[in-house]
Amino acid sequence: MAGRRGAPRSEAARVAILDATAALFAERGYDHLSIEGIAARAGVGKQTVYRWWSGKSALIADCLLEGMLLPESFAVPDTGDLRADLVSWLRAVEGVIESPSGEGLFRSLIAAATENVDVGRRLREALADPRLFGPRLRDARAAGDLRADLPIEDVTETIIGALVFRALARTPPDPVYAERLVDLLLGPAGA
């Protein structure tokens, strides 16, 4: 039986590397993040990092997927006003995307996803997570605020896709984009 080559993977080293990556990313941003710096901060050799990750994009993706980079909660709030909740959430996400570290984060995540099928699958699961919108939209549908046949998972993917596209295209901030996107979902306000 053929075994795995190389040194066994240490959970302590893995965590130290991910912690170092998240900390350095927050301090310096994606463009100034280096494998050498990550290895030094984690107290491991550079070869240890490369043994487990193909590069900084894959490291950033793992940090995101382990909840180490984004704000604590990206769940849609529930104040009782669906339109206001969705607009508020979209503006918060836009704020992250438009920040210098957010721009680097999205760029690195897309790079990692194009390099590695598994990273792409895990990124899709994390970003299109039905828990982001699902509970809030299901509650709104049950209350009659949304049409009964609304495909909630498709709506989630559409909204996330629109945000990711704007981030990739480096579209300038638009103060009314969130409202327009919510209008596409719910119909114009007051209609």
Can you tell me the distance from the alpha carbon of 184 to that of 14, in angstroms, rounded to the nearest whole number?
43
Please count the CA atoms within 13 angstroms of the CA of 85 that sit on its side-chain side: 19
Residue 74 has a pLDDT of: 67
52-56, 120-124, 147-151, 178-182: range with lowest mean pLDDT: 120-124
Whole-number percent of the chain with pLDDT over 70 = 88
Secondary structure class of 119 (helix, strand, coil): helix
Decide: 74 and 149 in contact? Cβ < 8 Å.
no
Can you tell me the distance from the alpha carbon of 49 to that of 13, in angstroms, rounded to the nearest whole number?
9
Decide: 126 and 64 in contact? Cβ < 8 Å.
yes
Token pair 């959970």 is found at: 11
When the pLDDT of each residue in the chain is averaged and rounded to a whole number, the result is 82
Nearest alpha-carbon partner for 137 in 177, 77, 181: 77
